[in-house]
Structure 1
Amino acid sequence: MAVIAAAVAATAVKLYLAATTSGTNDIVYWTQFAAGVREFGPIGIYGEAFEAPYNHPPLAGWFLELVNLGQRAGLGLPLLIRAPACLADAMTCWLVFRLLNERSSTLGAGAAAVGLVWSPALLVISGFHGNTDPVFVALTVASFFLLARRGRSLASGVCLGLAVSIKLVPVVAVPWMMLLAYRRGAAALVRFAIGGALVFALLWVPVLVLNGGPFLESVVGYRGIWLREWGLAELVEQAGYPRLDVWLNAHGSWVVAAAAMVPLALTPLRRPHEEAVGLGMTLVTMLVFTPAFGMQYLTWALAAAYLVSIRTGWTYNVAASLLVLSVYSLWSGGGPPWRWEQAWAVPFTLGQHMLMAVAWACLLLNWLDGIYPATNQSRRAQGDHCDEHQRNASGHRHRGLQRREHAGQNARPDT
């Protein structure tokens, strides 16, 4: 009950922020996109010119249709854009609590879930910034929970399909989820695939048929904004190697491949109750190595980091929150969060670059924390196997000696 109460209270705070502030420049862009959907429709909007590129998968256009309906009913667009993320965080909080409670105490799992939903990073990005990243995170975690803990593979496939239809990022979780479905039998894998295929048929096929070229260029071909103030790409540029930064951006597809393959590479090392770690590793790997960046990207790994390791999940949460508070304070003209009303993105200061490096290093530690226990378990398992083999061999030798001694005792003496 304490976790539910904390989630409800945090959601109320976020919705209050969403209803009473103008948010960041992303709200301006979403306002333009909503107008574009009114004019061109959720399929025809791709390829049209806006102040920022419309690079969202097909579910976003239908979401904006609902936003336009809400506006006609008298609701404000800033609230309508941000409300789904605020509500999604509450669902993520509860699911993370349920998953962590399987391998941790109720107190430890509850503290992590409350720390997640009350994370300043989520309070600001969901309640103030205005984007859809927390929604796809919630749907991805829900997809895992439905498959791995409820055995509802069809619903799981639908959830993951919807997540990918909001942003392409959770496509990195598809191979892991398919493996988990396969582990539960061929029928479960088929139902999971059918769930995803239904979403693809309803949302993706129409836009691919009717406006495929602009859609693929805008969504699949999107490489991120020109300003990349995160992670490896930024660090190598600051170290004086700008060409490496350009190379990383041009070959960003390897990040997707790595994020998808890391959990699969660790599959023989994982025990069944650690399947959630593999899911977390997909999103953590994606954010650790991505050359693209927006402040809302920090939410990709907040829940995922806790699934990988509660200890380093806390570390990343704190570091990311400090970065968020510093950056949005700058964007809002200074002052504490309760005085923010509107923010416009500007480049990081030197101090914020240092905070970014700390947050990225904390996430890298979380990623390593996800790999090391797996390899350590493999070594222990190999050691246990060797010990068992030695015990079996010793037992066979001992039984052989006993049989020979028994045979010698029963043999007749020579006469």
Structure 2
Amino acid sequence: MRIAVLALAVAAVALSSPLIAQADQPLSAGQRFAQDAIIVDTHIDAPSLLLRNWNDLGLDTPKVEFDYPRARQGGLDVAFMSIYTSPAEDAAGTATQTAHTQIDAVEAMVGRRPDQFAVLRSPKDLERLHQRGQRVLLALGMENGAPIGDDLSKLKLFHARGVRYITLAHSEDNRISDSSYDKHRKWKGLSPFGEQVVDEMNRLGIMVDVSHLSDDAVRDVLARSKAPVIASHSGLRHFTPGFERNLSDELAKAVAAKGGVVQVVFGNAFVDPASAADTQAYFDASAKFEQEQAAARARGDKPRSEKEFDDAWQAAHPPRTVKIDAVLDQIDYGIKLLGADHVGIGSDFDGVSGALPEGLKSVADYPNLIEGLKARGHSDETIRKVLGGNLLRVWGRVEALATP
């Protein structure tokens, strides 16, 4: 029944989107599998884009990578909306307000299109919310712990608003943890406050996310947390030697041993060695740029804008062509290294400026991933686990261990 209803949904929006097959074309094997399986993507950056330029994501929106028509075409069931704040917003004291405003934007999207979207706060509610129709369920993941400041009580507030995982740091060290991109390593891992944050997240039932963290910080989280942890959008360093943003075999196995899951990211920067080197070079150059602009301000000179730096960098470093095989290789290796119960997907759609592998350009393309995994000999059971079953299991376990 579900496949038939979804086939009608695909046909209904076919004329509005050039990406969607015509109504008289049968679904491919990958599309049929995608419509029947539960697909959970743990990292989609739509909220940041909504604040820059409001789009009605219930309609086909070609300039972004997540919208309702393509999500239904791709079989996406649960999309974790990334509530992202930058180190600059943390320094300016605006991160808390930005996070609340992004959550407001997600709630507004649901309020305007309740037949298409609903907020998912617990894996227990998935089936109930699906009974009302073919909706995409939106969960919330906070990327960067900056919005809680130094106030643990804000964790309870953001949990009440629906946040179900927190990436403790992003591209710079913060109050909680060291970042894999930051060379300073202020805490040599988690800070004392960060240890309290992990404890409180365990108590509330918020998943602790180790993506973006330094190796020492990941080790500290694993030692501290009483619940399984996740990497919401990380690659495996086996393919990108020296790129600390991705997980080493040692740390990936430690995440799995604790019952957690590594959600393999799609972005070129994390799955392609040359692109990973470009990404690390960007953060190194960005840090140097910030130091130069601080010195300029101290001299009384007019500093250059961050946008000017980013535009120049992107012009000099255009996205590389990467095949879907780069992501399939990561998933293959992850399954062999960790077992089929500890690998999932966290695309980073709308967060990597379109630098994505061929065949994985939007939420319409999960069927291509499925067909690639099938071609490599993975069983239907394993593929279902990777698509969403593993993440839902871990989320449920974290929730069960909570003592709010």
Assess same fold via TM > 0.5. no
Q: Answer 1 or 2: which has greater strand percent.
A: 2
- Higher Cα Rg, which structure: 1
TM (norm. structure 1) is 0.28
Q: Answer 1 or 2: which has greater helix percent.
A: 1
TM (norm. structure 2) is 0.28
